[in-house]
Amino acid sequence: MYKELDAYWMPFTANRQFKKAPRMLARSAGMHYWDDKGRQILDAVAGLWCVNAGHARPRIVQAIQDQAAELDFAPSFQMAHPKAFELADRIAKLAPEGMNKVFFTNSGSEAVETALKMAIAYHRARGDGSRTRLIGRERGYHGVNFGGISVGGIVSNRKMFGTLLAGVDHIRHTHDPARNAFSVGQPAHGAEFAEDLERLVALHDASTIAAVIVEPVAGSTGVLIPPQGYLQRLREICDKHGILLIFDEVITGFGRTGQPFGAQTFGVTPDLMTVAKGITNGCVPMGAVIARDKIHDVFMTGPEHLIEFFHGYTYSAHPLACAAALGTLDTYAEEGLLTRAGDLGPYFAQAIHSLREEPNVIDVRNIGLVGGIELQPLPGQPTKRAFDVFLDCYDKGVMIRTTGDIIALSPPLIVEQSHIDHIVETIRQALRRAA
- From the list 256, 260, 205, 262, the residue with the least C-alpha distance to 235 is 262
Q: By CB under 6 A, is residue 207 in contact with ligand PLP?
A: no
Window 390 to 419, contacts with ligand PXG (CB under 6 A): 401, 403, 408
Greatest CA separation for the chain = 68
Q: Strand pairing of 406-409 and 401-403?
A: antiparallel
Map residue 371 onto helix, strand or coil. Answer: strand
109 binds, among ligand PLP, ligand PXG, none (CB under 5 to 8 A by kind): ligand PXG
**Which span (54-62, 103-111, 307-315, 367-375) binds ligand PXG, by CB under 6 A?**
103-111
301-330 positions binding ligand PXG, by CB under 6 A: none
Quote the CA–CA distance of 325 and 94 in Å, as a whole number. Answer: 13
- Residues 37-56: x/- map of binding to ligand PXG (CB under 6 A)? -----------xx-------
- Stretch near ligand PXG under the rule CB under 6 A, chosen from 17-25, 52-60, 107-115, 358-366: 107-115
List the one residue from 52, 107, 316, 366 that touches ligand PXG (CB under 6 A): 107
Name which position in 200, 251, 351, 423 contacts ligand PXG (CB under 6 A): 251
Q: How far apart are CA 400 and CA 411, in angstroms?
A: 9
- Exactly one of 34, 299, 309, 313 binds ligand PLP (CB under 6 A); that residue is 313
Distance CA 239, CA 429 (A): 49
Binding partner selected for residue 313 from ligand PXG, ligand PLP, none, CB under the kind-specific 5 to 8 Å limit: ligand PLP
Q: How far apart are CA 431 and CA 386, in angstroms?
A: 9
**Which residues, 6 or more positions from 48, have their beta carbon under 8 angstroms from its beta carbon?**
277, 282, 401
296 to 99, 147, 169, 186, 272: CA distances (angstroms): 10, 21, 26, 32, 10
Binding string, residues 95-114; x marks residues near ligand PLP by CB under 6 A: --------------------
The entry of ligand PXG, ligand PLP, none near residue 315 (CB within 5 to 8 angstroms by kind) is ligand PLP
Contacts of ligand PXG in 122-181 (CB under 6 A): 141-143
Binders in 196-235 for ligand PXG, by CB under 6 A:
215, 219-220
Per CB under 6 A, the list member of 109, 150, 257, 265 interacting with ligand PXG is 109
* Distance between CA atoms of residues 373 and 361, nearest Å: 7
| Pair 402, 389: CB distance under 8 Å | yes
Query: How many other CB atoms sit within 10 Å of the CB of residue 113?
Result: 23
List residues near ligand PXG by CB under 6 A: 48-49, 107-109, 112, 141-143, 215, 219-220, 248, 250-251, 276, 401, 403, 408
